[in-house]
């Protein structure tokens, strides 16, 4: 089992303001709360996958096809 990295980032971002603005003596409690929240979500390690991970997210911007390179004739010296 390993920690879910995306959840880890979301948890830290949720508590970021709290970390920065709580009194110094309360920071330890906030850090413990973050660690316990992160350790709650785990995911299985899946070795020997038969397929590559591929994002199915649609491409948002238009991509033109491959453009052929146009070579300019050399200028006479």
The series of mean pLDDT values per 10 residues for the chain, 77 residues long, is 84 88 88 88 78 78 69 62
pTM: 0.52
Name 19's Cβ contacts closer than 8 Å, sequence gap at least 6.
Answer: 27, 30, 31, 34
| Distance in angstroms (rounded) separating the CA atoms of residues 38 and 43 | 12
Using one digit for the tens of pLDDT, what is the confidence trace for 31-53?
999 899 888 878 777 777 777 77
């Amino acid at each position: 089992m390993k920690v879910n990295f995306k959840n880890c980032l979301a948890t830290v971002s949720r508590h970021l303001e709290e970390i920065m603005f709580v009194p110094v003596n309360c920071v330890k409690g906030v850090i413990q709360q973050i660690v316990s929240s992160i350790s709650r979500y785990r995911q299985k390690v899946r070795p020997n996958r038969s397929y590559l991970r591929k994002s199915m997210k649609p491409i948002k911007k238009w991509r033109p096809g491959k453009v052929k390179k146009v070579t300019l004739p050399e200028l006479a010296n």
